[in-house]
Structure 1
Amino acid sequence: MQARGRLCVGIAPHPALLAAWGLADDAAGLERFSLTVLEAVGEQVAALKPQVALFERHGSRGLAALERLLAEAADASVLTIADAKRGDIGSTMAAYADAWLRDGSALAADAVTLSPYLGYESLRPALELAGATGRGVFVLALTSNPEGASVQHAGGADSVARRIATAAAADNRAAADAGGLGSVGLVVGATVGSAIVDLGLDLAAVNGPLLAPGLGAQGATGADLAATFGPAYANVLAPSSREILRAGPDPAALRAAAGRTLAGLSG
């Protein structure tokens, strides 16, 4: 982010986008789509975020396409965030951690998104492995979808979202003492409006990166992000997918779209 700004480009090969690019809705089309995005904007933005479900829908061949994308991104020193939203308990959570965060795993990314709704501590295998391998996690904390409030806002002043943010801050404390960001980031929607303040979340104190989906096609602007996140804005990584991907398949057009989006992000 210091070198390239706060833009993260989502790799979201929806069937309609594949068709718009003139690609088949199959594993081969998926791979061509993904590698084109990597080639076009990989060196321009802070990270790429493949949406894992859109690879899984093509079965083992789709996952093989994801493996190739992750490997080629790593070879090109492009950071990747696997948007998998994994969450479970015990040995199953350890297996998810092993798949997405272990050195040598074919699916290893630089970070993975996690769901904490079996309890934040259920994520411990992934939190520990991320710290040990120099990778990171982004834990769902406060999302923009209307249904999310029924869980995340529950508890009022002691909301679920606030507890997740407090737990992440505790895990990042050693990094904060050393003057850096911790390996536990949060997912906080760019369009949550006043919810951060209303629920009393101190996102700056989390001292981790904040993945803020909602930029572009979902309605948020760079100015909205700065206003919503306030003192924590310095740690915000802003994903955008449709706004940029619909400019493809021409690599130059993708680069130009990413450049326009990046220019709209202040700081």
Structure 2
Amino acid sequence: MTAPGVTGAPVPFGARLAAAMDEHGPLCVGIDPHASLLRAWDLTDDADGLREFSLRVMDALGGQVAAFKPQAAFFERHGSRGLAVLEEVIAAARAAGTLTIVDAKRGDIGSTMGAYADAFLADGSPLAGDALTVSPYLGFGSLDPAVELAAATGRGLFVLCLTSNKEGFEVQHARTTAGPADAGDAAGATVAALMAARAAVLNAGAEPLGSVGLVVGATIGDAVAATGTDLVAVNGPLLAPGVGAQGAGERELATTFGSARRNVLASSSRAVLAAGPAPDALLTAAAAAAREARGALRG
């Protein structure tokens, strides 16, 4: 992760992701080993089946897509052996030269958030990929330990902002009585808009992309406009779950992301993984999804 010719200087995640998206297309393949998927692949719903499933995906798609996004919960449900598989997945992705976004959605305060940051963002930690999803709903400032460690190690964060679950609006669309002075926000801004504004401050001046991104569901319709969330100003990557099997196509992506589309990393899991377990079928499905994402987001 160090810059060429610069000893010890990490290349920021945003720059590495932008290069990967240019090379492979703006597609992130989610690794979500649901029990139903394990059964569909004729694998056992245990740590052995989990390992076989995950490493087959790595073997088929490593070096062929911009990023992988293993969902930590599907590994954690198998206990310590499942976490050991997650460590293997992260190591395999690194060996293949593919970025890994660990989808753990961690969020806490003080030393607890610091411990999460050490687990998922510190050099030498077997659970540290290239980026981590985090939840800001104890206050954006609660993420400071993760923000600081990610910057120091050249890793990235994806902050939950506008999600597609029907309960999300209860918090994300709520309006505040006052915005944070350092972000220049006026009273009455929505929570989602404030999250985006805070990310924009952290990404100011970064090229080609900052390393603090947002999670913005691809199927949220006009929620970006309705909440006054400025995705262009974020100057960071926008991780967009919901592409493909969940129904978001070119029109939906245009509605949601508008002129920020070039910064979107489309996340697809079921549309790709359902094509397995044959490696050629997985690669064909991923290539098709990447072409569709490139056409919709960069056409």
Superposition TM-score tier, normalisation by shorter sequence: over 0.9
Give 1:231's aligned residue: 259
* 3-state SS in 2 of match to 1:146: coil
**2:196 maps to 1:165:** yes
Query: What pairs with 1:198-237 in structure 2 (closer than 5 Å)?
Result: 198-237=226-265
Q: Give the 3 Å change call, closer, same or farther, for CA 42–227 of structure 1 in structure 2.
A: farther
1:152 equivalent to 2:172? Answer: yes
In the alignment, the residues of structure 2 paired with residue 217 and residue 245 of structure 1 have an alpha-carbon distance, to the nearest angstrom, of 11
The answer to whether the 8 A contact 1:49-1:80 is kept is yes
Partner of 1:41: 61
- Number of the residue aligned with 1:23: 43
Q: Contact conserved, 1:215 with 1:222, CA < 8 A, in 2? A: no
1:102 to 122, 129, 137: 122
- Runs of 5+ consecutive residues of structure 2 not aligned to the other structure: 1-20, 177-187
List 4+ stretches of structure 1 deviating above 4 A. none
User: Within 2, Cα distance between the matches of 1:222 and 1:43?
Assistant: 26
In structure 1, the gaps of 5 or more residues are: none
Q: Deviations over 1:55-85 (max 9, x none)?
A: 0000000000000110111111110000000
Code of the residue aligned with 1:192 in structure 2: it is I
SS in structure 2 opposite 1:147? coil
| Match 2:33 to one of 2, 13, 18 | 13
Provide the C-alpha distance between the structure 1 equivalents of 2:231 and 2:172, rounded to a whole number of angstroms: 15
TM-score calculated relative to the size of structure 1: 0.97
Give 1:129's match in structure 2, choosing from 145, 149, 161. Answer: 149
Deviates more, 1:219-228 or 1:187-196: 219-228
State the SS of the aligned residue for 1:166: helix
Write the deviation string for residues 171-195 of structure 1: whole angstroms up to 9, x where unpaired: 11142xxx33111100000011111
Aligned residues: 264
The one-letter code matched in structure 2 to 1:84 is A
| In structure 1, distance between residues paired with 2:52 and 2:143 | 33
Measured after TM superposition, the shift of residue 226 of structure 1 is 2.9
Report the secondary structure of 1:3's partner residue: helix
Listed one character per residue, the Cα deviations across residues 20-73 of structure 1 (whole Å, up to 9, x for unaligned) are 001111111111111111111122211000000000000000000000110111
TM-score, with structure 2 as normaliser: 0.86
1:223 shift after superposition = 3.7
1:257 maps onto 2:285 in alignment:
yes
Identical aligned pairs, as a percentage?
A: 63
